[in-house]
Structure 1
């Protein structure tokens, strides 16, 4: 048997059916939970890929050398 669809996984949230096994919910093994976990992981991975793709497209400007700031930083180090 395949994984639940997203609408099927969302349907029991507002009013869980009486046949729902609490032990499955407590252990994170209910099929609806597993589907929602997969959706969250997929969304997170896609957003991270988009951020990385954007970072590769940008061309950051190098910072100019500033001896006063460099000396202040070095003096603050233990």
Structure 2
């Protein structure tokens, strides 16, 4: 998984024929930051805020989530989070 990314700039959303998000977000996104994402359901598109990162499906409490990026090739097949 990537360690960070740069979300779409508000001014560029119009270039894709998208409306601008109605909420604030950071210019650089790192694990556990809130980030803008697009949801599409039955032709309706909407912006939502979501936390960037990977959470193991067996985790019972999101507060216990660890950053899961930059896996080492030597141990990726031995770690339960991957």
TM-score (norm 1): 0.22
Indicate the structure whose relative CO is greater, using CA pairs within 8 Å and at least 6 residues apart: 1
- The structure where helix makes up a greater share of residues is 1
Larger Rg: 1
